[in-house]
Structure 1
Amino acid sequence: MTPASGTAAAPATRLRINPFYVVGLAALVALPFILDAIYPVSSRYYLHLAVQILFWAFIYTGWSLMGRFGLVSLGHGAFTGIGAYVTVLLWNDAGLTPLIGIPVAVAAAVLVSQIVGYPSFRQRIRGHYFALLTLALTEFVRLAIVGLRDVTGGSLGTQPDRAGDGISLVAVQFEPDRVLAYFVALATWIVGLYVWHRVDRSMDRYALEAANVDEDAAASVGIDVTREKLKVTAISAGMCAFGGAMFGQYQMYIGPDTIAGLAISLNIVFACIVGGVGVMLGPTLGALLTQMLAETLRVGIASSETLRSALGSSALALDTAIYGLLLIVFIIYMPKGILGTVQDRFGRGRRR
């Protein structure tokens, strides 16, 4: 059929979908059933690892929203802790369902991020000064958790009150069903990638990149640098708080060393740098590597009497020592991370 005289045919618009993403998503959806078929006895253990990787990948993706624009924060352990503790305490002490408690926790983390971020960005605190400021925030939150032991359980941590032996939607407790927990974690991770993609395709990205290079030049062309930084900080803190709350509900235990504090912040930074802070799937690769490394060391040390006797209590910090060594190597030889380096080399090859 030809268009009518004097009119032009409208160009056909087609949604372009990367087949790699489609195949990858299909594989992830089928993963629980594949594991159950191949490892019927230990499939629950492997699903547990997958759930942990996906939740931490979501948290790491949230941090990368700031890190990729030069806002290197060591305070995101505070936001994961706020998300987890506010949710659990509202449920245990006030009987408020996590369906309401999680949004309240996210709002609290965002508020804290704005209270700290506004004066910092207005005074143009950046670089290592900003990192030290956020480090102080993390330590403050950790010490508050430990100091308020009558409420938070202190250094021993606390547990959400169980609503029953099975799954509870009201209490957001789904750990007994590992398959359901996996799909909840998978959906959370996909939402995190979608947020990263939207920020990457927005005008805010270009504004933040310009501010990262030269704030004065960015402001001279009409960019509100403070507002842009506060916006991405709010999104980043909210994602980390949500991820911390969901991880706590899955683990059914939260403690200052497992969901809050400087160690968590450093793990976040390390994973993002290793995977590639400027690539959408970089934090996910970092989560995969760090979680597998920690689990491999834990199982290896637990099963080896020689290692336990040789390392003693220092075996508990072996993964942190390895993280530090690898971080030095990656910063020197691969500053863009694994996926960032691969992407650069592949792009140069295509241009040639």
Structure 2
Amino acid sequence: MRQPALSSSERRVLCLGGLAVVCLAAVPWFSSSYATTAMRDALILGIFALSYDLLWGRGMVLTLGHAVFFGVGAYGVAIATTQLQWSWLQGLILGMGAAMVIAGAVGYFLLYAGVRLHFFAVITMAILLITRQLATSWQSVTGGDVGILGIPGIHLSLLGWDADLSDERSSYLLALAALVLSTVLAWRLVRTRYGLVLAAIGMNEFRAKHCGFDTSWHLVLVFVISAGLAAFSGALYAGTAGVVAPDLFSILMSTEVILWVAVGGRGTLVGPLIAAIFFTRVQQEVSSYSTDLWPLMLGVLFLVCVLTLPQGIVGLFHRMRSSKGEAPVTKDAVAGAGGEP
């Protein structure tokens, strides 16, 4: 986890990020109860987008079933708190552990077998459909189509310290703190030597393998880390929303997280966070008028992003900055550099 020295651009991003966190922390004191709750859910889904950006943005592993891990984390907390009478923290450990075990098993059998690209995506989508069917059919545990209701709010008790985080203001601040912590840990991870190896695998796995790296092991590892982070966001969602349902395992949710990462900019970490928060709020407002309108808008946005923003909004911003900073290439400049005009 050794970190290189901070660059000037990274310092600017950290300063802007700190200012954004301060502004977000003030939301509960200046917004309505509905706006605070909606923004809290958007922050939690931002962690979900961050987990997928680690997998697809860095390792270039495309999956259509990432919602499996979000749902497993949510159901882990729901089952632990309502049926086993465990605490939220114990449910968090259960959900994250189950998600990481599933990711480790799937990743080992598929990635070590050489399954990549659209083959991996299709198989993970099949796993998502199987998981949704299991959540619907296993009524004695999952509640069936209705789901699990009455999940208690988040209450932390650790080493003699008790904190009730079930009210909307406390749960919002918890979601914000979890988002900041997850972002910092992910950022520090991608700046390490492991992050560089992962980026090299994403750019050209064949070359990285012939440089001596066990590419399958690195991809399985990032798959497990990504699954754990997605389950963490699902556990937060269950503890704050108070209800879980099989819709958490929907293809629509897996498609939405792809859109967030694609629009925000793959591999940028910050871009998918911004896109997830923005689109979640837009979805909440649009769905208040029509529940059928949002999937249509989602498909249109995805097509527009693929056709016009292949590098996402952050990539477009970087291109604009680089184009402004580059001097025009003239014949005199080329001749002065020793080349032919």
Which category of TM-score, normalised to the shorter sequence, fits these structures? 0.7 to 0.9
SS in 1 for 2:254: helix
8 Å contact from structure 1 (residues 146, 153) kept in 2: yes
Does 2:51 correspond to 1:76? no
Alignment RMSD (CA, Å): 2.2
Match of 2:285 in 1: 296
Match of 1:337 in 2: 312
Deviation at 1:161, TM superposition (A): 4.4
Q: Cα gap change, 1:124/1:345 in structure 2, threshold over 3 Å: closer, same or farther?
A: farther
Quick one: which amino acid aligns to residue 169 of structure 1?
L
Q: How far apart in 2 are the matches of 1:30 and 1:322?
A: 31
Q: How far apart in 2 are the matches of 1:332 and 1:182?
A: 36
8 Å contact from structure 1 (residues 160, 249) kept in 2: no
Answer with 292-301 or 51-60: which moved more: 292-301
Q: How far apart in 2 are the matches of 1:202 and 1:174?
A: 34
Q: How far apart in 1 are the matches of 2:30 and 2:314?
A: 27
Quick one: which amino acid aligns to residue 226 of structure 1?
S
Match of 1:174 in 2: 165
Match among 267, 276, 285 for residue 274 of structure 2: 285
Match among 25, 44, 50 for residue 29 of structure 1: 25
Q: Deviations for 1:57-98, whole angstroms, at most 9, x for unmatched residues?
A: 011101110111311111211101110112211222221212
Q: How far apart in 1 are the matches of 2:100 and 2:273?
A: 23
Q: Deviations for 1:221-260, whole angstroms, at most 9, x for unmatched residues?
A: 1111011111111110000001001101100000011x22
SS in 2 for 1:155: coil
Quick one: which amino acid aligns to residue 317 of structure 1?
D
Deviation at 1:31, TM superposition (A): 2.4
SS in 2 for 1:169: strand
Deviation at 1:21, TM superposition (A): 2.3
Quick one: which amino acid aligns to residue 94 of structure 1?
L
Match of 2:133 in 1: 143
After superposition, where does 1:316-327 map in structure 2 within 5 Å? 316-327=291-302
Match of 2:15 in 1: 19
Deviation at 1:327, TM superposition (A): 0.3
Q: How far apart in 2 are the matches of 1:22 and 1:151?
A: 42
Match among 199, 214, 221 for residue 204 of structure 2: 214
Deviation at 1:44, TM superposition (A): 0.9
Q: Deviations for 1:5-54, whole angstroms, at most 9, x for unmatched residues?
A: xxxxxxxxx9957432232222122222233xxxxxxx111111110110
Quick one: which amino acid aligns to residue 104 of structure 2?
Q
The alignment covers a number of residue pairs equal to: 313
Q: How far apart in 1 are the matches of 2:18 and 2:201?
A: 35
Q: How far apart in 1 are the matches of 2:202 and 2:269?
A: 19
Quick one: which amino acid aligns to residue 173 of structure 2?
F
Q: How far apart in 2 are the matches of 1:266 and 1:234?
A: 20
After superposition, where does 1:1-352 map in structure 2 within 5 Å? 18-35=14-31, 43-68=32-57, 69-162=59-152, 168-169=155-156, 174-175=165-166, 177-257=167-247, 259-301=248-290, 316-352=291-327
- Which runs of 4 or more aligned residues in structure 1 lie more than 3 Å from their structure 2 counterparts after TM superposition? 14-18, 160-163, 167-175
SS in 1 for 2:289: helix
Q: Deviations for 1:192-225, whole angstroms, at most 9, x for unmatched residues?
A: 2112201220122222222223323211211110
Answer with 58-67 or 90-99: which moved more: 90-99
TM-score by length of 1: 0.83
Deviation at 1:295, TM superposition (A): 1.6
Match of 2:336 in 1: none
SS in 2 for 1:300: coil
Answer with 338-347 or 184-193: which moved more: 338-347
Q: Cα gap change, 1:270/1:241 in structure 2, threshold over 3 Å: closer, same or farther?
A: same
Deviation at 1:179, TM superposition (A): 1.2
Q: Cα gap change, 1:22/1:98 in structure 2, threshold over 3 Å: closer, same or farther?
A: closer
Match of 1:312 in 2: none
8 Å contact from structure 2 (residues 266, 311) kept in 1: yes
SS in 2 for 1:346: helix
Identical positions, percent: 25
Q: How far apart in 1 are the matches of 2:185 and 2:37?
A: 25
Quick one: which amino acid aligns to residue 347 of structure 1?
S
Match of 1:8 in 2: none
Q: Cα gap change, 1:31/1:299 in structure 2, threshold over 3 Å: closer, same or farther?
A: same
8 Å contact from structure 1 (residues 71, 126) kept in 2: yes
